């Protein structure tokens, strides 16, 4: 009987943790203008210049150094869980992935915090 109670308590704790993780892994939907501003920055060769390395929906002359975005079968939500983690990655990719071959847009002050957040909103909106 005691073993059953422990198992049940463990299952309930696991479910509570999963619900907490799911709730913390979401954020309010970004405004359409943030998504559009992020797309414009991602396509801007003088700013984000994402098309230099990545294929993106609607982009032309995309590079093939990095993976096509969004990656097939994996959403940005699955990869990063929160917008803040995606923004942190865009700011300083090597901090999360030491061998990332990607510019440090925030660390090198290529993009402002607001611009990084707009690009993250755009990337998050991709399906």
Judging by beta carbons within 10 Å of its beta carbon (0-12, 13-18, 19+), is residue 111 exposed, middle or buried? Answer: buried
Top-confidence residue, 11 or 53? 53
Top-confidence residue, 99 or 2? 99
Contact 106, 91 (CB under 8 A): yes
Q: How confident is the model at residue 127 (pLDDT cuts 50, 70, 90)?
A: confident
Instruction: Evaluate whether residue 5 is within a structural domain.
Output: no
**Residue 70, both tokens:** 């969004």
Top-confidence residue, 2 or 37? 37
**What's residue 64's pLDDT?**
87
36: domain CATH number is 1.10.760.10
Q: Which helix (H) or strand (E) holds 121?
A: helix 113-125
Instruction: Evaluate whether residue 3 is within a structural domain.
Output: no
**What's residue 100's pLDDT?**
87
Instruction: Evaluate whether residue 11 is within a structural domain.
Output: no
pLDDT of 3 over the 70 cut: no
Distance CA 10, CA 17 (A): 10
Give the tens place of pLDDT for each residue, 24-65.
444 456 678 899 999 999 999 999 899 999 999 999 888 889
Question: According to the 3-state scheme, what is the secondary structure of 21-80?
Answer: HHHHCCCCCCCHHHHHHHHHHHHCCCCCCHHHCCCCCCCCCCCCCCCCCCCCCCCHHHHH
**What's residue 28's pLDDT?**
58
Instruction: Evaluate whether residue 96 is within a structural domain.
Output: yes
Instruction: Evaluate whether residue 67 is within a structural domain.
Output: yes
């Amino acid at each position: 009987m005691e073993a059953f109670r422990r198992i049940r308590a463990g299952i309930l704790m696991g479910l509570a943790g999963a619900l907490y993780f799911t709730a913390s892994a979401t954020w309010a939907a970004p405004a359409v203008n943030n998504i559009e501003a992020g797309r414009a920055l991602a396509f801007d060769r003088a700013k984000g210049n994402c098309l230099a390395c990545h294929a993106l929906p609607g982009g032309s002359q995309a590079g093939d150094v990095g993976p096509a975005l969004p990656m097939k079968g994996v959403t940005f939500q699955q990869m990063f869980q929160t917008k803040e983690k995606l923004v942190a990655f865009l700011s300083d990719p090597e901090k999360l992935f030491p061998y990332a071959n990607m510019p440090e847009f925030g660390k090198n002050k290529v993009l402002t915090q607001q611009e990084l957040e707009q690009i993250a909103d755009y990337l998050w909106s991709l399906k």
